[in-house]
A and B are shown apart, each in its own frame.
Chain A
Amino acid sequence: MKIAVMVKQVADTAARIALLPDGSAVNYEGVQLVLNPYDEFAVEEAIKLKEAGGGEVVLFNLGPDSADEALKTALAMGADRAVVLRDPELGQADASVRAEILAAMIAREEFDIIFCGKQSVDSDTHQVGPAVAEKLGMPAVTFINAFSLEGNKATVSREAEGVAETLEITLPALFTCTKGLNEPRYPSLPGIMQAARKPKEVLSLADLGIQPEAKVKRQGLGSPPPRAEGRMLTGETDEKVKELVRLLRDEAHAI
C-alpha cells in the first residue's frame, strides 16, 4: 500500500492574527507555526495503515523553507520520506494553484491512497483535497471520521449536516480527515532522531513543467469589525435572567 499525505504548515490556532501595517498581508512575525492540526489525523491514519499492512508513507508539502519544521513533526511520527516544493509565494497562493502543483507532484508516482486534513486552518478553503482528486481523476470523500480497508475498497464514515453517512470507495482515492478519525501519536525520541535523516526530495515548478495561474485575486484584507461593548446584567440571578429575556425579545429581536 503506497500512501501519499499532503501536509501544510500553518499558524497555531492559539495565535492572534494581525495584518502588516499596510494591510497587504498577514503579519507572521512572532506567530508560532505548526503542522496543520487536521493533517495530524491524516498522517496518523497513513502510519496506522502502513503498520497494519506494510507499504510506504510519502509526505507532500508546498511552502517556505520554514515548513521543514512541520514536515519534521510528520516524519518523526513515522512517515518514510518527503517530496517538497519550496517557494515562499506559492505557499499562500490560491487553493487551485496549490492543488494543481500538489497534484503534479503526486502524479510522478502511483499511490493507492491520498490523505490530507479536511482544511488548513489558515485559508480555510477545504478545497485542496477534492481539487487534487479532481485533477488526478480519482474519487474523494471529505471529512472522514472512520476508515477501514478491505482489498481495494475503503469504507469510510462522516457526518454531513446531521446525516451520518457510510460510503464505500474503490481505490485509488483521496480522503480528507477530521477529528475523531484517530488519536495522533506524539513523535517518539527515536522518531525525532530519525526524522532528520529521512529522504527529502526538493522539486521546482520547472521540474513539474507547469505554470499554474491564479484563479482568485485578493483585492483586500481586513480585520473583523470589533464588536460593540456588551452589557453586564446586574441584580439577583432571577432579575438578570428576566432582563436577558426581555432584551433578547424587545431590543435584539433575536427570539
Chain B
Amino acid sequence: MASICVVLEHGRTGISKASLEALGEARRQAGDGQVTAVIIGKGLDEAAALAGRMGADRVLVADDDRFAEFNLEAHEHALSQALVDVKADFLFMPVSTHTRELSSRMAMSLGSGLAVDVTAIEEKEGRLHFTRPIFAGKALETVTLEGRPAIATLRPNLFQPMEEDAGRSADISAIGLSDLEGLRTLVKEAVAAAIDKVPLGEAQIIVSGGRGMKGPENYRILEELAGLLGAAVGASRAAVDAGWRPHADQVGQTGKTVSPVLYIACGISGAIQHLAGMSSSRFIVAINKDPEAPIFKVADYGIVGDLFEVVPLLTEEFRKALG
C-alpha cells in the first residue's frame, strides 16, 4: 500500500475543489496506506478539519501570516519541512499556476520524477502508471516515476472527491518551520478578480467565443449565459489576438487546456490548436453559422445558426429549465 502526501491549496474561499479531488484520488490509490494532507496558508483550522472528513489520515499545517499569499520560496520551504516528517511514496497536487512552480522545484530538489496534468492513474504490477496529455492533448503518454516521493499534479474535474464523512477526523499537527529570512521574492499585491468569476482551469462549464463574436462588446451575451450557469468565459486565439479578450481567457494549445463537463463553443470554427485545448471536455456544444466548421466534428450537439440569435434564446431556455 502506498503512502501518499497531498498538497491542498487554500485560497480566499477555503480549500480548492481541485485539491479535494486530488485528496480523493490519493485516498483511493493509497488503499490502506496513509494519506497525509499538507496545507500551507493562513487561518487553516476549518480547512484541516475538512481534510480529515474528506479522506486524510494526517494533516500537516503551516498556518502563518507569511503564507497568507502564495510565495514560492516560503511555500517550498514549508513543504520541504513537511516531507522530512512524512515518508511518502507519492506527492499529489492539484494543477494550478502555483503548483506548477512548486512541483517543478520540489522534483528537482528531491531528485524525483514528476508527471504534470495527469488525467488518469492506474496501478499495474504494483506500480502507479500516470497518463497525461502532450501536444495539448493531440497525444497521450503514460509514464512511471522514479524517486520518492515521486510527484504528480492532477488536472481538475477528472477525479472524484470522497464523500464528506462527519465521523472521520485526522491527526492535525503543525509543520516545524525555520525563520524564513532572506526571501528574495516579495508578493506586493494579489488582487482577486470578482469573487463570482470562475477560473477557467477549474470551471465545470465553459462558454467560449471566437471570431464569430465580431467584437469585444458582444461577449456580454456569453457573460450573461455564463453567469446563469456558474460558468467561466473562454475565448479562441483569434478573439485574443484581436484584443477582444485577455490572454488568460484563451483556450487552446497556446492558451489553456481545459476539461470541463460542458464546453459551449460560440462562433469558433475549430482550428487544430483550439481543438487540442478542449477536446477532452465531457460534452461539447457547437454553435456556428458554417455547417462545415471543424468544431462540429468534435461536438456532441451542434446547432447551425446565428449565435446572436441562438445564444440569447439559449440563456432564456436555461433560465426556464433551471427554474
Q: Are A130 and B104 in contact (CB under 8 A)?
A: yes
User: With A163-B193, A215-B111, A248-B285 in contact, do A230 and B101 touch (Cβ < 8 Å)?
Assistant: no
Contact (A244, B116) CB under 8 Å given A126-B104, A214-B146, A216-B143: no
Min CB distance A246 to B, Å, is 8
* Complexed CA–CA distance, A74 and B184 (Å): 30
Contact B254 A252 (CB under 8 A): no
Interface of A is mostly: mixed
Residues in B whose Cβ lies below 8 Å from that of A247: 301
- B185 A252 Cβ-Cβ under 8 A: no
A-B contact count (CB 8 A): 276
Closest beta carbon of chain A to B162's beta carbon, Å: 21
A222→B317 CA distance, assembly (Å): 40
Q: How far is the CA of A196 from the CA of B282 in the complex (A)?
A: 48
The reply on B296 being an interface residue by CB < 8 A is yes
Number of interface residues of B (CB under 8 A): 101
- Nearest residue (CB) in B for A180 is B247
Report B246-275 CB contacts with A as 1/0, cut-off 8 Å: 111010111101000110000000011100
Q: Does A205 contact B (CB under 8 A)?
A: no
Assembled-state Cα–Cα distance A127/B114 (Å): 9
Interface residues of B in 25-82 (CB under 8 A from A): 69-70, 72-73
B97, B240, B283: the one within 8 Å of A160 (CB)? B97
Contact B139 A230 (CB under 8 A): no
**Contact in complex: A215, B146 (CB < 8 Å):** yes
Q: Does A217 contact B (CB under 8 A)?
A: yes
Interface flag for B300 (CB, 8 Å): yes
Task: Give A16 to B189 CA distance when docked, in angstroms.
Answer: 41
A122 within 8 Å of B by Cβ? yes
With an 8 A cutoff between CB atoms, is A9 at the interface? no
User: With A160-B98, A248-B262, A248-B285 in contact, do A125 and B116 touch (Cβ < 8 Å)?
Assistant: yes
Is B282 within 8 A of A254, CB to CB? yes
Q: For chain A, give the interface size range.
A: 35 or more
CB distance from B231 to the nearest CB of A (A): 10
**For the complex of A and B, 10 pairs with smallest distance between CB atoms:** A215-B113, A130-B104, A160-B97, A17-B138, A13-B273, A134-B108, A170-B184, A166-B189, A134-B105, A131-B108
Given contacts A131-B108, A224-B279, 19 further A-B contacts (CB under 8 A): A13-B273, A100-B108, A127-B114, A130-B72, A130-B104, A131-B104, A141-B72, A160-B96, A167-B185, A215-B107, A215-B112, A215-B150, A217-B145, A221-B141, A227-B300, A230-B296, A230-B298, A230-B300, A237-B303
Give me 26 A-to-B residue pairs in the complex whose CB atoms sit less than 8 angstroms apart, sorted by A's number. Answer: A13-B254, A14-B272, A15-B272, A16-B138, A99-B108, A129-B104, A134-B109, A141-B72, A142-B100, A159-B246, A161-B11, A161-B97, A165-B190, A166-B187, A168-B185, A180-B247, A214-B146, A224-B133, A224-B280, A227-B298, A240-B310, A244-B285, A248-B285, A252-B283, A252-B300, A255-B229
